[in-house]
A = this chain, B = another copy of it.
Amino acid sequence: MEKDRLDPWGEGHISNYERLHQEFGIERLDSVLPRIKEPSAHMRRKIDFGHRDLGRVVDAVDSDKPFAVMSGIKPSGDFHLGTKMTADDMIYFQSLSKRATVYYCIADVEAYNDNGLTFAESSKTAVRNVADILALGLDPERAVVYKQSEEIRVMRLSTIFSSSVTNNMLRAIYGERQIGLYLSALIQVGDILMPQLPEFGGPKPVVVPVGADQDPHIRLARDIAAHYKEDYKFVPPSSIYHRLNRGLDGSPKMSKRNPGSSFSLEDAPAAAGKVVMSAFTGGRASVEEQKKLGGEAEKCPVYDLYLFHFALEDEYAKRVYDECYDGTRMCGDCKKELATLVKKYLEEHRKKRDSMMKDAEELLKSSKKRLAALAS
């Protein structure tokens, strides 16, 4: 019995993202991919599946014009694999051009509101989180790191924007929510549009790499950019969307609240290895069946980990998929192989990260100084 053969770099894995194209008008990445000279692993592997107006950023790269890469992280704990996805995308876009600047927002206001973390607590986590992204490859020379709670421009923009946004507009995008959530959305719009203020060199393309679930903020930011076109000359921000990491325990999404679903870059390698070893897989009911039918890699969060993070070479990820499909790779061995990879990665990352704590503090300090010195 033949089942459909899925290309690991094909559309198959993202069929559940189809409605984002249909209903929300997210463009398929294919529409712009041929124009990108060196696509990232996320792009090649169709982990990045959609975008809005990414062409503007490609144009900026091609014509050596300045552009910004903007995203943020809530400093509510360790650097998780979902955060790494966004960080990898930011670093990739920064690497495309000497004229790219990364704006990296530490969302401590959200961490206070959502998780009850004081700014002092967030501040400590933030240093470690910044060291993580430096270890992943961020170039600090072209990065602006700021805390939401300290960046008056973001706050000011969100307040200004609030005066022109109607409740109906917000309800249409987010549904009926409490004001705190609406305001939090407006603050994120402030984050997204800040790089286009005059003190940062004025209007320019900005790409926001995010998980698909963050698209509402992008839509709001684009609506608002259009509304304030005259006052601020905003270029509508661009976005690129990556698929979400599925939970290792079979849940639909990795979650910090659900320890069996994931691990973080801070976890002890042995502990992370254990999480991998007890992961849900796309395997069959018995070894015999699996040898006969092959595994279902497209349903398998373990395969996702190879694909999204730990198989650095495309060829390697493809081999894992093919062996699984052919029934020559069994889940136990596959998990063991991954656990070894993960443990090695975490050990190396931890070393790199620890050696970068001073640089992280330095970057936070120098960014703060730089931001304070800008006219506002």
Q: Within residues 142 to 160 of chain A, which ones have a CB less than 8 A from any CB in chain B?
A: 149-152, 155-156, 159-160
Tell me whether A160 and B376 are in contact (CB under 8 A). no
Among A114, A182, A183, max chain B CB count under 10 A is at A183
Chain B residues, CB < 8 A from A162? 113, 179-180, 183-184
Tell me whether A180 and B165 are in contact (CB under 8 A). yes
Residue of B155, B163, B178, B184 near A155 (CB, 8 A) is: B155
Within the complex, what minimum Cβ distance (angstroms) separates A16 from chain B? 31
Tell me whether A164 is interfacial, beta carbon within 8 Å.
Answer: yes
**Tally of this chain's copies:** 2
Q: Within residues 169 to 196 of chain A, which ones have a CB less than 8 A from any CB in chain B?
A: 170, 178-180, 182-184, 186-187
Within the complex, what minimum Cβ distance (angstroms) separates A296 from chain B? 42
Tell me whether A109 and B179 are in contact (CB under 8 A). no
Knowing A159-B109, A159-B155, A166-B178, the reply to whether A376 touches B150 (Cβ < 8 A) is yes
Knowing A179-B167, A179-B182, A180-B164, the reply to whether A156 touches B155 (Cβ < 8 A) is yes
Tell me whether B159 and A187 are in contact (CB under 8 A). yes
Q: Within residues 111 to 163 of chain A, which ones have a CB less than 8 A from any CB in chain B?
A: 112-114, 149-152, 155-156, 159-160, 162-163
Query: Quick one: CB contact mask for A187-230 with B, threshold 8 Å, 1 for yes?
Result: 10000000000000000000000000000000000000000000
Within the complex, what minimum Cβ distance (angstroms) separates A159 from chain B? 5
Chain B residues, CB < 8 A from A156? 109, 149, 155
Tell me whether A165 and B179 are in contact (CB under 8 A). yes
Within the complex, what minimum Cβ distance (angstroms) separates A85 from chain B? 27
Chain B residues, CB < 8 A from A155? 152, 155-156, 159
Knowing A152-B149, A152-B150, the reply to whether A113 touches B183 (Cβ < 8 A) is no
Within the complex, what minimum Cβ distance (angstroms) separates A84 from chain B? 27
Q: Within residues 215 to 268 of chain A, which ones have a CB less than 8 A from any CB in chain B?
A: none
CA of A293 to CA of B376, assembled, Å: 62
Chain B residues, CB < 8 A from A114? 163
Chain B residues, CB < 8 A from A170? 179
CA of A355 to CA of B82, assembled, Å: 61
Within the complex, what minimum Cβ distance (angstroms) separates A147 from chain B? 10
Tell me whether A159 and B376 are in contact (CB under 8 A). no
Within the complex, what minimum Cβ distance (angstroms) separates A182 from chain B? 6
19 residue pairs from A and B, CB less than 8 Å apart: A109-B156, A109-B159, A109-B160, A112-B163, A113-B160, A113-B162, A149-B156, A152-B152, A155-B156, A155-B159, A159-B187, A162-B179, A162-B180, A162-B183, A163-B184, A164-B180, A166-B178, A167-B179, A183-B186
New A-B contacts (6) at CB < 8 Å, excluding given A155-B155, A167-B179 = A109-B159, A149-B152, A165-B178, A165-B179, A165-B180, A170-B179
Residue positions of A touching B, CB distance < 8 A? 109, 112-114, 149-152, 155-156, 159-160, 162-167, 170, 178-180, 182-184, 186-187, 376
